[in-house]
Amino acid sequence: MNKLEKEMQFLIEKEGLDDLSVFFCDYETFEEIPLFSRFKHISFLSSLSFNEKNKILIKKCIELINKCKLNAKNYIDDKNISDYFICVSLTDWENYEDVNCLTPNIYISRKKNWLLSHLKLKHSQTIEENLIREYLCSIKELDYIVLISSGFENYKRVYIVHKSIINEDIELNKKSNK
């Protein structure tokens, strides 16, 4: 394990994200858990560019999501597992300059159908969305798609969602928004 990987693992432990049960709690609607709670917790990335920081942080979030997907059956019964939703949300688009990176979050819900009906995720060609698509290609995370919600203009969030989680509703949204 190289120094960067050790620092990232320490970050996960410091933030309590090594306790997977956090990702399976039955929150009222959804929860958005940041990868880091303090800017100083990612100070070990300070020598990196904006793009490199974002790629590293997004990759770590995707690793966490994959780990959660692999362990979901240990936390959620078979009857309710199909309503579990997990993805990466990227926030702080308006003030990314403060830390020179975006804030990646693990976005979770045990009410997938309800959540998707409210988010109304869709494909678009916003600058933000295209930037994240470039990152995913660069870090070779091709099983994920990049989406925004219908309220993107007011609440800038970009979602990185595994293709297996998305249902036909998003595909229908994509076609109806063209």
Q: What is the pLDDT of residues 146-174, one digit of tens each?
A: 999 988 888 899 999 999 877 544 554 44
Mean pLDDT of the chain: 90
pLDDT for residue 167:
56
CB-hemisphere CA count at 13 Å for 124? 20
User: Considering its fold, how many domains does the chain have in total?
Assistant: 1
Cβ(108)–Cβ(67) below 8 Å = no
For 51, the enclosing helix (H) or strand (E) is: helix 50-71
Order of strands across the sheet that contains 103-109: 31-34, 103-109, 85-91, 158-162, 144-148
pTM of this prediction? Answer: 0.90
Q: Is residue 41 over pLDDT 50?
A: yes
What percent of the chain has a predicted confidence (pLDDT) above 70? 93
Least confident of 27-41, 121-135, 156-170: 156-170
pLDDT for 84 equals: 93
What's 38's DSSP letter? S
Whole-angstrom Cα distance, residue 105 to residue 142?
19
Task: Look up the domain containing 89 and give its range.
Answer: 3-176
pLDDT (mean) for 19-31? 92
pLDDT per residue as tens digits for the range 54-74: 999 999 999 999 999 999 999
Q: How many Cβ atoms are within 10 Å of 92's Cβ, its own excluded?
A: 17
